[in-house]
Each structure stands twice: as structure tokens, then as C-alpha cells.
Structure 1
Amino acid sequence: MKDRSSIPLPKLNADLELLQTIYETALIPDNYDDLVDTWSVRLENALAQVEDTDLDGSQDMVTLDLSESIRYLDTSLRLFERLDTARRLEKQTPEAERASLPKLVLDAAGKVVWYNSSALRMFALSRQSTAQTLPMDDTSRRRLESELATLGQEVERPPGPLGRHLPLVVLLHPPGDGAQVFMIGQRLAQHGQPDLLVLDQADTGWNEAIEAVLQGSFALSRAETEIVARLAEGETLSQIAKARNRQLSTLRTQLKSVLRKTQTRSQAQLVRLTLSLASHLDASGADLSASEAPFQVHTLPDGRNLHFRTMGPPQGAPVMFLHGMLDGLNIGATFLQELTTRNIRLIAPERPWFGAAPGYDVDIPQVPDTLAADLTHLLETHDLNGVRLIGHMAGSVYSFTLAAKAPERVRGVLNVAGGVPIRSLTQFRHMSPRQRTVAYTARFTPKALPLILHAGVRQIESGGVEQFVRALYARSPIDLAAFETPEIGTTIADGVRFAVAQGYRAFEIDSYHVVRDWSARVAASKCPVGLLHGRHDPVVSAASVEAFGRTLGARAQVQIAEDAGQTILFTHPRMALDALERL
């Protein structure tokens, strides 16, 4: 290993242009591209002083001296966080609230094991929330606790009027002046563990489809549609007038117009029409939601919870999917259909800080090993053997770590568009400009990484998903073309939102690991390996993958698709599954 004690660190100095760009981005999230460009110039200039051989085989990382600018970066990050808090509070419009209704999940012990952002905001939830701390009256709490007590048992409920079991209904009282919320509880079966209880807001099911019908079929204006939505949610005209800062007489005039256009004679008949539309649209869309994977929670020995989904035949051959930074758990319709055809049961855990998954209270370098231990417990609990792993993009680090942790249960690893251990600056220089800047930051100036990632998350949350993704694939026409297709574009956009659902923490962890030399994790695993990669991948070059394959020797099968990029899992799903079956 090279002795670096006498080598001065390259300096990355603060300057007025950089600081001005940081502050402008804090105020205008769409300026993120300008921030990355400005930061990139300084990184590239500083790294011109670093020799390529300085990275080769060394874990003694080269870093850049940020001593002159780190206090500005820290101050800027705090500014971003404060502005974000205010922006999120201001952004809670009626439309946004209707688009994301509160949902939470409790286990048999009464612990809240999962909740979405609406439930978090509405009921002031935390990771310590339980049935005892939920804001509800005594009657509802008794009903809830009675239901929780039965989660480990087979319970026969009295049938309802349609021959269905009656669901649990409880009333929650949001702190402050929030309106009371009726929540419907449904049991969710768990393999080998007590059932969970899912609480959903009892709602008309208002959505964009209902708005489209009202506006398209009855020619309602946007303002008139909002009045119908609020009436359907139980508000009075007086409440609507107050919320919209309008005169009650104006609302009465608008309501008359709505009744005339919809050919209804009263508010009651109008609400009945809305409920009928909601019921019909829910029924017609049932087939679309039927393919969604069931949500499951695995309880670990120390009481922590691991979230995962399963897809494909329940008795199919077990395959675990370890997602990357920007893909989430949406694998696409073709891939999903092929699971049934090939009799594959896909188990897809949510990694820490992604989606709604709990985070880890460990240092970033320890995250892969901690996750591998948790996933090993999941495999052992379900007695799964001969499991093949799919590591997608950044998931490759975690797939090799798990293969090394559970060699008796893992049969093989397939990395799709996966990363490889980074051992030279040449590997960085292949990356597209946006991804190279983030990678340089993660490797050489890790203290600045939270600021850069936080700024990117702010752009995404401000509606800039498409702008963010296009910058990532700026030098990959094949990937841009894939993003243009409706299904793949939606999948990628959903994956980006999944990655930033809890802020930049998930990005920070993955960025740290994928830009380092993690060869030791690979060497610790002994199973067969498949490496499927697109020739036009803008992040990891095909040459790097081929070189990585050679280091693995006879245990590796390398396949380079000449007509694919980083989106190969979505553009070539059958090719990926064919490669999996060869392991």
C-alpha cells in the first residue's frame, strides 16, 4: 500500500460562484443542474492532481481537502432542511391530501410497523408508535385492541349483508383542529407469522379518474369539481367557502351550476352519483391492482421489522430481488408475467431508508453486513434454500454480501446492470457527467455528499423527476428512449420517488458503497455468478464488467447486450430471466 502520510491532499477551495449557486438552489430547486455543473468543474480540476494508480487496490482512500469550504457546506445543508420543512407544510393542498390517504399497519403486539407519509403527518406518528399511542377514543381503542388480540388466531366473523366478513372500523382524532377520520381495518396474512392489521381511511375513493369523468362527461370546471370532491368528503358549503376564502353565496351559485350540469336535484343525489362513480371505477380498475405484490413484514430477533413483497407463484422457485438506487420494487408487467410462466417466486425486500422501510442505526460502512444478517434471518425463518439473488444496479453490492453471509442457502448471484468494485479513476471517467459528479463526491468529498444529494431530492420533490432522470441519461440515447416509453418511464419515475421517500439517506448509503473497492465482499462469496450488462450503460462500462468477470474466473458468466443500456432489466426482462435460469 502506498504511504500517503507525506502527500498533501488536493484542495477544493470555496469561492463566491459556488456559494452563490448553492444559495440559489436552496431557493429554487430547479437550479440543481447549475449547482451540479458548478460543483463538477471544481471536482474535475482538483482530481486532475490525482494519479489513476492512487486508487488501485487501496482502501486508504484519496480525499480532497475541504477545510476551507466545509463550514459553508454545513450551513447550506441546514438551510436546505429548514426551507424543506416550510415548503412541505405549505404544499399540503386539498388535492395533495386526497391523492395520498393515510394508511398504517400494526402487528399483533400493537406496534405500528409501517405507515405512509399522510399517516405520519396526520397522526404525528413515529417509529415508537403503538395502538396505545394512536389518537383515538376509548371505544375505538377497545375495538382495535380486541382485533389485534386475534391476529395470531383463526377468527370467524359474523358475515355481512353480502356474505363478506365485516371489517373493523375505528375513529382516529388527528392532533390539533384536524377532522376526525374513520379508518377501516383489514387483516393481512403473513407466511409463518401472525397476521398484520392494515388501517385505511374510509373514503369515497376520490381520484383523478373521477375528476376526469365529471369534467369530461358533465363539463364541470376545475373549481366545480373541487366543490363536488369536498361535498363527497363530508364538508358543508360553509366549510368549503371558509377553506377557499370565498363568499357562501358564490359557492351556492356554483353548486346550482353543478346540479344543473349533472342533472341531479340535491346535494344528496350529487354525492350518491360521486359514490357510484367511485365504486364503478374501483371495480373496473380491479384487474390493474390485482398484480400488486402483497405487503409483508418480517420481525427480526431484536424487534426490528424488515419490509418485503412477494410476487409470482407462492410455491415457485425462490429468487430474491435486491433493488438498486433508482428502480424500486416495480419490475414491469412482462417480468411479472414471466414469473408465473417460469414458476418463480420473487421476494423483494425494501432496503433501509427506501420507500417506507425503517432505517439502520449503524454506521454507513456496516449497512451491507447488517442487511445481509437480516435477510439471512428471513431466509432461515421461511426455510428457503437454493435461493438465487438478483442484484440490480447498486443492489450488486448487497447481493454478494448476502451470498457470502448465507452460502448454504444462496445458489447463485445474477447482477443486472450491476456495479463493479471501483479500483481506478478510469472507471469514474466512463460515467455520464451527472453520475460522475455524484460518484466523485461520494468517493473523494463525502462530507459534501449530503448537500449534493439533498439538492437533488429537492428537485425531485418539486416535480422535477423527468428533468432529474434526463440528466442521468444525457449520454445514453438508448436509455432515454426507454424512459420515453410509458411503462418504463413510469417505472423509473416511481423508482426515483421510492428512493427519496425519506430524503437523501438511502442515496447517501448506496453512493458510499458503489464507488469503493468492494472486492473483499465478492471474494468472500463462492457461488456461481451471472453478469448481464448493456453495452451502452452510461455508468458502468461493459469493459469494466468484462474485466470484473475475468477476475471471477470459471464461476462467472458474462453477457453483454449490444442493444441495451442501464435500463436493460426493463427493456430485456426475458433476457434477464434466461440468465437467471442458467445459474
Structure 2
Amino acid sequence: MDLSLKPNLPRHNIVDQLYDIAIDPESLDDFIGAWNGAGLDTHEARQTFAQIDQFDAIYAAHLRRAETFLSRAESQDTGPDFAEMLARFDSLAAFVVNHDHCVVAANAGAGHAFGLEPGACLDALDLPEASLDALDGCLRSAFASPKPSDRLIKVDLAKPRGAALFQIHKLPKLPGQTLSYALVVTTQYHWRAALGQTLQEVFQLAAAEQAVVRALVEGMDAKTIAESRGTSEGTVRGQIKSILAKTNARTQSEVIRLIMSLQEVSKTAEDRADTTNSLPDVAPADWLHAEVWKPFETLTLPDGRRMDYLEIGPRLGAPILLTHMGYGMARWHRPMIRLAFKLGLRVIVPIRAGYGRSDNVDMKDDILAVTRADTLCLLDHLGIDRLPYVPQGNDLIFAVDLATHAPERISQIIGIGARASLEGDDHYASMSKWHRFFMSTAKYAPHLLKFTAKAGVSMSRRIGVLEMFRHMNGSSPSDMLLLEDDHLRAVLVANGELVAGKTTDVSQAYVMELLVSEASWTHLMLSARATPTRFINGTEDPLYDAAVIAAYRDTYPWIDIEVIQKAGQLLIYNQYAYVLPILAEAAGQAKHIK
């Protein structure tokens, strides 16, 4: 079955279509159909038409050139979207600077607090000289770092404004981008009248306590607050203690994060502005809305990389570790969050390297080892000793890897739509065409995978996250039904931004993960067999096949596998009322340290 003799996809057609994809990524759909139709997604085809080294020799140069064209087109089409970055910090003073410390973009808060506008230089800020020097040094340090990195600095403001925290994040360069930029987010807060009303209604904070909260957000300590309010430090400390109790927070830092998470709520209540994180026809501002759209939290890893993570549900609840799979499914919608609070379920979602704003790793790194170390670092940071691991889809490999290397940290594995390691390629046959293409290509044509994954991200940006989801999961009635819920649809779009946002290119991370998930890792499954494991899979998952489930049961008889009718790949969303109590029960059984 030599490729040049195959009528469905002759050799010159492959080359032509590679360049077509580079020019118009939407033609990837036609290419995938032709590739699968020619039977080139099978082991037999790869062995008979040419060995992989011959394939690389023939097409490697074309792939490299096509990828260069695609990267150039991407950088011209998108570039850094500073407006989108700053939109998330509407109630804070935030701005973007270049390597010369000149402002290239600033939001209204930065204009109000510091008088900043594009073109201004930071040395013109109305700050004490020592503060300007400290800020300059911190920016220089961030720009000098070879990788995207975070810096946090406390800056004394001109009297009597006290101090503010400045978080500096060196932005990753997009393909073809030569200039370096840094995002600066400060704690200078645009305090909205509606926010005070929310604090009073939801947490019963008195006016004096609201004033103390505002001062904490602005970076003041108890002594400075007392001086500014003309009261004693003891009185302020008593008010802070009352605030912690009313907001169910453990530290002042948690109070500050809570207030920042309410910024979209107060914004919506005050002016009903349209943002990507709000819906024009959905419910009024309330605490549940704030939980849905609260910002990601950030951890700086030992090697300096940034790792974002999301916490859903009560902070003092019983925790589980949930993965977002390749679709970036991190956020939950309102009914799921309401049930999580009712069940006392705390959900921790690490955003893996390369997704969202979590910094990428080198293509040569061991992605299993990196993900394992990052996950353990996050659990240590949160003070969690032991908890259930809940992987979705292909992410099962990360769960069994962690259970193999740190079994004392994982109480059990509950796979949602989980895919286990199987030998051969029969399990590809029943998949939808997109899933079959990417997964079989990872196994039999890995060099093609890198280019087509990048094209897939580019295509998603062009046609939109929802349309791309329809391409990927259109064969699943259950998954398509989710799009009919306006609120859930907005959540799914926001999740998709972790994968294919204007400033996100997940293609490298996706390739690295797919290469390990489609290789054999049966040895990890066997090594982790002492960890209680359960699968919950749906019959309308684009990857589902009854024969594959039977193969799982034969190969891994210790796994309890449940199959749910009329459930798709996003089973956790349309079957949450059934799944979440199972997760809560598992979390309650696990021993953990708060």
C-alpha cells in the first residue's frame, strides 16, 4: 500500500494539502477525511506504504516549510491581544509594557490610578524614587529571564496612598513574535459601589469592615489602616478577625482573593457590561456567578515556571484532584457548583504546562515527570496529603503515573470517560474521524502530528471554539445537547480559551501529551493496580466502543467499569447530579491534611 499508488491520497496530494492547510487551516478537515479514508490511520498502512523514517525523509522538509508558513500567518493574524488580557482585570489597575518599560496598553483602572496611557514611560509614574527604582529592577529581572516568569513586588505609593502590590508576568512569545512584553497587574482597586452592597448582602460586612477590606486589597497592613482611619491597631485587628469569620476565610490573602473574584459580579450589577465571562441573558450578579467566573490562582514552581489552578467549591471541603483533559474543561457551570457546595466537595483543577497561562516546558522534557512534579508541588502548596484523582479522557495516564510514583498521595482513581492503554490499533476504528486521526497519527506519524495540531489550534481560532467543538464531538448527541444551555455554552467557550485563545497555543503541550498517551503504558496500569480504580464512561462518547470496554475489563479486571447510556465525552457536565455525589463520597473517605 505505497502512498504514491494509493488512489485516494496520492503523494503529490499530500504535499499540496499540507501547504493548503498552512494557508487556510480550515482545510484540515478535508485533509483528515482524505487521510482516514485512504486507510493511513492504521498500523498496517504505516508498515506497508513506507517505514516511518522513509516517510520523514520524503515529507519532513515539506512539513517544516508548511509549519513556517502557518506560524507566520498565525502571528500576522493574531499577535498579542492586549485588550483581551486586560479585560480580565477590569476592576484593577493593569497595563502591558515592552522591554523599554514603555506602556503599550492600559486599562481604565491604570489610567485612573496612575494616569497611564499607551506610549507613557514608567519613569513618569507619580511614585517615590525608591519605588521607581524597585519597579525598574523587578521588570529588568522579569525580562532577563529566559522563560515566562512572575515577579511580585510591594510598591510604596505617593503619600497618603500607602502601598500596592505589583504582579509582573513576562508574557510568552507567540510564534513569529520578536518583541517581549510584560503584563503588570496591581492591587489598586477600582472600588465599585455595587461591591459594597454585595459584601453587605452576602457576608453581612458592616461599613467599617468594608473599609478595612478595601484597605487590605490596596496593600495596607493593620498599622497603616489604623493610622489612616484614626483608630487603634487593636480595633483594626478585631475588625479583620470579624471579616475572616464572616467570609469563612483563613487568611487575609484569602479575603483579598475573594474580593478580586467578585469584581465581575459588581461590574455586571453596576453597568451590565458585556464581557467574554458573562452572558447577556443570564441571572443577576450573585455569589454563584462569582464562583463560576472567579480568576485562576497562580503558583510559582521551583523552576520559576508559572502554574495556574482553579478551586471550585468550599475551601474547607473534602478535596479531589480533577484534570481538564485536552479540551481545557476546567470551569463548571452554576448547577454543578451549587451541588459541590451542598456536598462539601472541594475541586482542585491544575492547569497543565502549556494550557492557558501556565508556562510551557521544553519539547524534549518528559511530560509525565513534569506533570507529576507540578501536581505534587501544588498539593504540597495547598497542604493536601491524600485525595482522589479524577482524570477525564486521555488524562488517565497522569493519574496512574502519579499513583505509581507516589501511591500514598492518591486514595483512588475515578476516571470520567477514561481511556486506558491498549495494544494494537483496533480501538481507533470506532472513534470519530478527528479523534481517530490525531490519536493514530500520534502513534504512526508523529512528525505529521506536530503540524496538524498547530493547524487545529489555528482553525479553532478562526472558526471559534464552539464550531471546533462541533467538528470534534458532532457525533455525540449528548455533547451537542450541552450547547443548548446558554450558561453552560458560555462556560464551555471560556474553557476552550485555555486551549485556543488568542494568546494561547496549546499545540506543543497537546502533541507531547498525545505522544505518551498513544504509546504503550500498560506497565503503569499494572504498577498502579493497588490503587482502587473506577471508570464511568458514556455510550455517546466519540471515543466509545463496547468492544473497547470489553477489552478494558479483560486486560484490567480489577477496575470497576460503569457505562452510562446517553452520556458523551463531557459526561461530567450532563451527568453531574449522578457523578458529583460519587466524587464527594470518595473525597470524604480519603485522609488529607488541611
Q: TM-score, normalised by structure 1?
A: 0.67
Deviation digits for residues 482-536 of structure 1 (CA, Å, limit 9, x no counterpart): 3343344333333332123431112212222222222222222221111010012
1:555-570 to 2 correspondences below 5 Å: 556-570=559-573
Preserved contact between residue 500 and residue 507 of structure 1 (Cα < 8 Å): no
Q: Which residue matches 1:266? A: none
User: SS of the residue aligned with 1:422?
Assistant: coil
Q: Which residue matches 2:86? A: 101
User: SS of the residue aligned with 1:394?
Assistant: helix
User: SS of the residue aligned with 2:15?
Assistant: helix
Whether 2:311 is the aligned partner of 1:315: answer no
Q: 1:206 to 1:72 in 2, by over 3 A?
A: farther
Alignment size in residue pairs: 466
User: SS of the residue aligned with 1:101?
Assistant: helix
Letter in 2 for 1:74: R
Structure 1 CA distance, aligned partners of 2:16 and 2:468?
A: 21
User: SS of the residue aligned with 2:57?
Assistant: coil
Preserved contact between residue 390 and residue 413 of structure 2 (Cα < 8 Å): yes
1:523-534 to 2 correspondences below 5 Å: 523-525=526-528, 526-534=530-538
Q: 1:339 to 1:290 in 2, by over 3 A?
A: closer
Preserved contact between residue 442 and residue 515 of structure 1 (Cα < 8 Å): yes
Whether 2:577 is the aligned partner of 1:574: answer yes
Letter in 2 for 1:439: M
1:120-519 to 2 correspondences below 5 Å: 136-137=122-123, 139-140=126-127, 142-143=130-131, 145=134, 185=188, 285=285, 287=287, 288-293=289-294, 295-361=296-362, 363=364, 366-501=366-501, 502-503=504-505, 504-519=507-522
Q: Which residue matches 1:70? A: 60
Letter in 1 for 2:342: T
Q: How far did 1:294 drift?
A: 5.2
User: SS of the residue aligned with 1:32?
Assistant: helix
Moved more, 311-320 or 116-125: 116-125
Q: How far did 1:38 drift?
A: 3.0
Q: How far did 1:67 drift?
A: 2.3
Q: 1:152 to 1:318 in 2, by over 3 A?
A: farther
Moved more, 430-439 or 497-506: 497-506
Preserved contact between residue 305 and residue 358 of structure 1 (Cα < 8 Å): yes
Preserved contact between residue 322 and residue 399 of structure 1 (Cα < 8 Å): no
Give ranges in structure 1 of 5+ residues lacking alignment: 1-7, 53-60, 105-115, 126-133, 214-280
Compute the RMSD of aligned alpha carbons: 5.0
Structure 2 CA distance, aligned partners of 1:417 and 1:348?
A: 17
Preserved contact between residue 321 and residue 387 of structure 2 (Cα < 8 Å): yes
Q: 1:181 to 1:47 in 2, by over 3 A?
A: closer
Preserved contact between residue 442 and residue 512 of structure 1 (Cα < 8 Å): yes
Deviation digits for residues 270-326 of structure 1 (CA, Å, limit 9, x no counterpart): xxxxxxxxxxx9x96464234434533333334434321212111111211121001
Q: Which residue matches 2:200? A: none
Structure 1 CA distance, aligned partners of 2:460 and 2:34?
A: 19
Whether 2:78 is the aligned partner of 1:88: answer yes
Q: 1:303 to 1:423 in 2, by over 3 A?
A: same
Q: How far did 1:77 drift?
A: 0.6
Structure 1 CA distance, aligned partners of 2:575 and 2:512?
A: 28
Preserved contact between residue 293 and residue 311 of structure 1 (Cα < 8 Å): no
Q: TM-score, normalised by structure 2?
A: 0.65
Moved more, 66-75 or 424-433: 66-75
Deviation digits for residues 105-148 of structure 1 (CA, Å, limit 9, x no counterpart): xxxxxxxxxxx9977899689xxxxxxxx9622754844759x9
Structure 2 CA distance, aligned partners of 1:478 and 1:100?
A: 33
User: SS of the residue aligned with 1:308?
Assistant: strand
Give ranges in structure 2 of 5+ residues lacking alignment: 106-119, 139-150, 172-177, 190-216, 220-248, 276-280, 587-594
Preserved contact between residue 420 and residue 544 of structure 1 (Cα < 8 Å): no
Structure 2 CA distance, aligned partners of 1:433 and 1:310?
A: 34
Letter in 2 for 1:353: G
Name which of 515, 520, 523 aligns with 1:520.
523
Letter in 2 for 1:396: L
Preserved contact between residue 478 and residue 540 of structure 2 (Cα < 8 Å): yes
Preserved contact between residue 353 and residue 505 of structure 1 (Cα < 8 Å): yes
Preserved contact between residue 192 and residue 382 of structure 1 (Cα < 8 Å): no
Structure 2 CA distance, aligned partners of 1:295 and 1:495?
A: 12
Whether 2:11 is the aligned partner of 1:15: answer yes
Letter in 2 for 1:40: N
Letter in 1 for 2:551: A
Deviation digits for residues 59-89 of structure 1 (CA, Å, limit 9, x no counterpart): xx98883322221111101110011111124
Structure 2 CA distance, aligned partners of 1:188 and 1:32?
A: 49
Q: How far did 1:480 drift?
A: 2.1
Structure 2 CA distance, aligned partners of 1:65 and 1:77?
A: 17
Structure 2 CA distance, aligned partners of 1:295 and 1:496?
A: 15
Structure 1 CA distance, aligned partners of 2:39 and 2:537?
A: 28
Q: Which residue matches 2:212? A: none
Structure 2 CA distance, aligned partners of 1:158 and 1:343?
A: 45
Letter in 1 for 2:16: Q
User: SS of the residue aligned with 1:69?
Assistant: helix
Structure 1 CA distance, aligned partners of 2:409 and 2:251?
A: 18
Preserved contact between residue 542 and residue 560 of structure 1 (Cα < 8 Å): no
Structure 1 CA distance, aligned partners of 2:252 and 2:298?
A: 9
User: SS of the residue aligned with 1:327?
Assistant: coil
Letter in 2 for 1:101: L
Q: How far did 1:183 drift?
A: 5.7
Letter in 1 for 2:560: Q
Letter in 2 for 1:509: M
Letter in 2 for 1:15: R
Preserved contact between residue 22 and residue 70 of structure 2 (Cα < 8 Å): yes
Letter in 1 for 2:86: L
Q: How far did 1:327 drift?
A: 3.5
Q: How far did 1:11 drift?
A: 10
Q: 1:33 to 1:291 in 2, by over 3 A?
A: closer
Structure 2 CA distance, aligned partners of 1:519 and 1:193?
A: 46
Structure 2 CA distance, aligned partners of 1:74 and 1:182?
A: 38
Preserved contact between residue 291 and residue 312 of structure 2 (Cα < 8 Å): no
Q: Which residue matches 1:113? A: none
Q: 1:10 to 1:541 in 2, by over 3 A?
A: farther
Whether 2:1 is the aligned partner of 1:33: answer no
Q: Which residue matches 1:264? A: none
Q: Which residue matches 2:542? A: 538
Q: How far did 1:454 drift?
A: 1.3
Q: How far did 1:206 drift?
A: 11
Letter in 1 for 2:543: V
Q: 1:568 to 1:45 in 2, by over 3 A?
A: closer
Structure 1 CA distance, aligned partners of 2:184 and 2:153?
A: 27
Letter in 2 for 1:443: K
Structure 1 CA distance, aligned partners of 2:41 and 2:27?
A: 22
User: SS of the residue aligned with 2:407?
Assistant: coil
Q: How far did 1:158 drift?
A: 10
Preserved contact between residue 465 and residue 500 of structure 2 (Cα < 8 Å): no
Moved more, 75-84 or 8-17: 8-17
Structure 1 CA distance, aligned partners of 2:41 and 2:415?
A: 34
Q: How far did 1:443 drift?
A: 1.0
Letter in 1 for 2:549: V
Structure 2 CA distance, aligned partners of 1:10 and 1:383?
A: 58
Letter in 2 for 1:88: T
Structure 2 CA distance, aligned partners of 1:391 and 1:579?
A: 14
